[in-house]
Amino acid sequence: MAFDCIGVLEKKRDGHPLSEGEIRDFVLGYSRDEIPDYQMSAMLMAIFLQGMNPEETAFLTEAMLESGERVRFEGLPARPVDKHSTGGVGDKITLPLVPLVMAYGVPVPMLSGRGLGHSGGTLDKLESIPGFRVDLSLEQYRERVQGVGAVIMGQTRELAPADKKIYALRDVTATVPSIPLITASILSKKAAGGAQALVLDVKTGAGAFMTTREKARQLAHSLCEVGARLGLEVSGFLTSMNAPLGRFVGNALEVRESLDILKGEGPEDTTELTVALGGEMLRLAGVARDEQSGREKMKEAISNGRGLENLKKLIISQEGNPAVVDDPSLLPQAADKVEVASEKEGFISGIDSRKIGLAAIRLGAGRRKVEDPVDPSVGVEMLVRPGEKVEIGQPVVCLYTGIDSNIEGARMLVRQAFQTAEKPPEVEPLILEKI
């Protein structure tokens, strides 16, 4: 085994495409602990630097899928559709999105992740709802989708275990932002979880993994092409991460903002993106004839309160306290609030969402290491948006702080995050392109 392994490593190192069998043996060998971490990490770096063509990426995805079980739903009212965001700051869209889509009987089997690095994770946000469980079994996962119509939980060990093991290794070997590796990781998990279509929110800009528009586009194309090879219909949007999404960054704070969206009182940008992604999901599921009518349906589910109702159902089915929906004060509340004033005057030309994300981590909202605890109550509230005019001394941000918050560190990052210009800047739209 070891001998072959080096031959395959040499092949990728020298830029040659690998065969289906070579990729399969490498991935399944690693998944079964027959290939050591150090050979896989050399392979990951070789893939990072030499790339993989769409065919190889599909083989990689299939091998990861084959490392575990694949859920196949039967007798569902519509095609099960999932949504995937490549990760950003303040991205709470999943929370209002799923209950709105549920209103039209679209099954949503969603496997989400935790926050790591500067970006947050849906599971951490949901866990700020008292009692909410994201660690259900695979059997419970199936039951929820078939019964309630949706579930949002963590990847179980039965689903694409090779992806889980490889992801942990990528995280410590500087091999995360690789298009074939990202593609295989996302699609193997989604396909294993039983989704048949997938709506993408591929972020680009300072706070995103893909910092340039070109890279984000390449990732989107890779996901569509490889998805098609796996029988997964993939579409979606390229969106801007040149400012955090919405008003709040931080777990319970983002749940609050999600409730606002479902009540029709959310910030414009988060509402717009929720409606767009949901509209596309309805179209892919076959319950809306086109994107536009999908969007109308989403807006309707906001105004008639069905989304809010479904969120309660979802919370109940995952053992959380549904009373938070009507009374957000039941969510964890921060110990204190501190405003940060602008040191400059002018028009806000951009808010570095990476820095805002890191500021939230300084306050305790996210992890520096996997084992770090998270304070659900803390976070950052943006008091101004790009394009607005600010004066010196005007509060631009409100920090929600806890006992272990590094307030000075957060304040410094926030101040660095705000860029001003003398003239009103041209503000980039949130949704940049259709994929």
The residue range among 47-55, 88-96, 271-279, 403-411 that interacts with a copy of itself, by the rule CB under 8 A, is 47-55
Q: Which of 4, 139, 174, 434 binds a copy of itself (CB under 8 A)?
A: 174
- Pick between residue 11 and residue 217 the one whose CB is nearest to a copy of itself: 11
Q: Does residue 50 sit in helix, strand or coil? A: helix
- Residue in 189, 247, 354, 355 annotated catalytic: 189
Determine phi and psi for 239, rounding to 5 degrees. Answer: -125, 160
Q: Is 353 a catalytic residue?
A: no
Assess whether 344 carries a catalytic annotation.
Answer: no
- Determine the Cα–Cα distance for residues 17 and 415; give it in Å rounded to an integer: 47
Chosen residue from 41, 140, 218, 293 binding a copy of itself by CB under 8 A: 41
Among 17, 20, 45, 394, contact with a copy of itself (rule: CB under 8 A): 45
Taking the CA atoms of residue 399, residue 403, residue 406 and residue 408 in that order, the dihedral angle to the nearest 10 degrees is 60
Give just the sign of the alpha carbon dihedral 20, 26, 28, 31: negative
Residue 173 engages a copy of itself in binding (rule: CB under 8 A): yes
Asked if 305 interacts with a copy of itself (CB under 8 A), we say no
- Give strand pairing partners of 153: 111
Name the nearest CA neighbour of 296 among 121, 158, 100, 128: 100
Pick 45 or 148: Cβ nearer a copy of itself: 45
Which CB atom, from 19 or from 39, has the smaller least distance to a copy of itself? 39
Q: Which of 119, 185, 258, 377 is catalytic?
A: 185
Q: Least CB distance from residue 171 to a copy of itself, whole Å? A: 8
Candidates 25-33, 39-47, 193-201, 270-278: pick the segment binding a copy of itself (CB under 8 A): 39-47
In the annotation, is 170 catalytic? yes
Residue type (1 letter), 181: L
Q: Which stretch binds a copy of itself (CB under 8 A): 148-156, 169-177, 218-226, 407-415?
A: 169-177
* Secondary structure (3-state) at 284: helix
Catalytic choice (25, 163, 201, 375): 163
Q: Virtual CA dihedral for 272, 273, 275, 276, nearest 10 degrees?
A: 110
Question: Tokens 């949504």, residue?
Answer: 83
| Lookup: tokens for 353 | 């969402």
Q: Which residues between 365 and 394 bind a copy of itself (CB under 8 A)?
A: 368
Q: Which residues contact 396 (CB under 8 A, 6 or more apart)?
A: 340, 341, 342, 348, 382, 383, 384, 390, 414, 418
Does 431 bind a copy of itself (CB under 8 A)? Our answer is no
Residue with tokens 């709040």: 248
Segments in 94-157 forming alpha helices (H): 94-102, 122-127, 138-147
Segment interacting with a copy of itself, rule: CB under 8 A, options 68-76, 168-176, 372-380, 382-390? 168-176
- Contact present, 237 and 276 (Cβ < 8 Å): yes
Which residue lies nearer to a copy of itself by CB, 171 or 326?
A: 171
Residue 84 designated active-site: yes
Nearest to 433 by CA among 180, 218, 278, 232: 218
Q: What is the CA radius of gyration of the chain?
A: 21
Q: How far is the CB of 56 from a copy of itself (least distance, A)?
A: 17
Among 172, 228, 335, 392, binds a copy of itself (CB under 8 A): 172
165 is catalytic: no
Structure tokens belonging to residue 89: 């700051």
Q: Which of 16, 21, 38, 105 binds a copy of itself (CB under 8 A)?
A: 38
Catalytic residues: 84, 163, 170, 185, 189
Interacting residue ranges for a copy of itself, rule: CB under 8 A: 2-3, 5-6, 9-10, 13, 36-42, 44-46, 48-50, 169, 172-175, 368
